[in-house]
Amino acid sequence: MSSRCLVLAVVTAVLLCGCQPPDSANTVSPRSAVDSTQAISKARSFPTRGVIRELPGGDKAVIRHEEIPGYMPKMTMELTVRHTNELAGLKAGDEITFTLFADADTHWIEGLRRVKAASALVVEPPSSRQAALTPKLRELQPGDLMLDAELLAETGRPVKFSDYKGRALAFTFIFTRCPLPDFCPRMGNRFKEARELLLNRPNAPTNWQFLSISVAPENDLPPVLANYARNYRGTNPDRWLYAVASTNALAQIASPLDLKYAREGGSIAHNLRTVVLDPAGRITRQFDGNTWKAAELADALAEAALATAPRTAPP
């Protein structure tokens, strides 16, 4: 081979190598970078301000934020901080500005800036104040009977947990003014998916029920609940009811379920609890937080229904 041909061959090889994708072992995944950029570009952003109520650690901050016009009222929520280094030097009681981002699946906050330092007074978290007002009862465990409490259904009629004896029951807690996709809306979407799985599962038990319980009795009246329910159930209410718990009912069941909720100056805060009961009204599973999958709930409800299923058809 002539020297000229050898040079051309080398140049061609270099050019061809330059067209190949980089070694993924030594570079950031292009897919991850693209997905992250797309998520940010699709997210809605809301500059706002609030007061830090708690810093539980990790990437979380409990913030009582101002009303975000057109999106949500003032609330106290545990928010996900995108860049945890922004939490450095902040403490409970600090007034901050930040930007809330929300896409179809999740939320985060960033750009945290302190605008007013906390006073010298110790700021007691709202969950502690609520606990002081609500007697601490023993937390219920799997196998324990669920306490009975009267709720107000979307139909305007009263309903109790004991009304579902003979059916496995899955219930969770929501409030209709919560728009963050990984909070109350995720509970609705997970219930929707789990119900569809059970309705379409061959030979699945039929003695089961879903119950979504609002913790905001001052706002979530029956007509509000019925309208909100259509966002998730459509026009098919089969085995899925929405109801609201009164303040007295919440005081009765919150502590045994480790449901933490608080009201402060028109805002509301609560953690996420989803509970499964068997047909005898005993607790079989409790899903904490929002990371569980619809299939897990469907399996747990089907298992609970079969565990002590009545021999006769459910009412």
* Tens of pLDDT, residues 6-55: 433 433 333 333 333 333 332 223 333 334 444 455 899 999 999 999 99
Same-domain pairing of 97 and 237:
no
Round to whole Å and give the CA distance between 270 and 253: 13
Quote the tokens at residue 104. 């179809």
Quote the tokens at residue 216. 């905001």
Q: How far is CA 245 from the centre of its chain?
A: 18
Residue 208 CB contacts under 8 Å (≥ 6 apart), including other chains: 167, 168, 169, 170, 198, 239, 301, 302, 304, 305
pLDDT score, position 125? 53
Name the 3-class secondary structure at 293: coil
Round to whole Å and give the CA distance between 297 and 303: 10
pLDDT score, position 40? 55
Q: What is the mean pLDDT of residues 92-115?
A: 97
Assign 3-class secondary structure to 252-270. HHCHHHCCCEEEECCEEEE
pLDDT exceeds cutoff 50 at 184: yes
Q: What is the mean pLDDT of residues 184-211?
A: 97
Same-domain pairing of 161 and 242:
yes
pLDDT score, position 241? 98
Residue 11 lies in a domain: no
| 230 membership: H or E segment, kind and range | helix 222-233
pLDDT score, position 313? 38
How far apart, in Å, do the first and last CA atoms of the chain sit?
89
Same-domain pairing of 63 and 136:
no
pLDDT score, position 314? 36
Name the 3-class secondary structure at 168: strand
Same-domain pairing of 196 and 270:
yes
Same-domain pairing of 147 and 225:
yes
Same-domain pairing of 154 and 255:
yes
Range of the domain at 69: 43-116
Same-domain pairing of 181 and 61:
no
Provide the number of structural domains found in the chain: 2
Which is higher by pLDDT, 295 or 42?
295
DSSP annotation string for 131-145: HHHS---PPP-TTSB
Same-domain pairing of 133 and 91:
no
Query: What helix, strand, coil percent values describe the chain, rounded to 5?
Result: 30, 30, 40
pLDDT score, position 21? 31
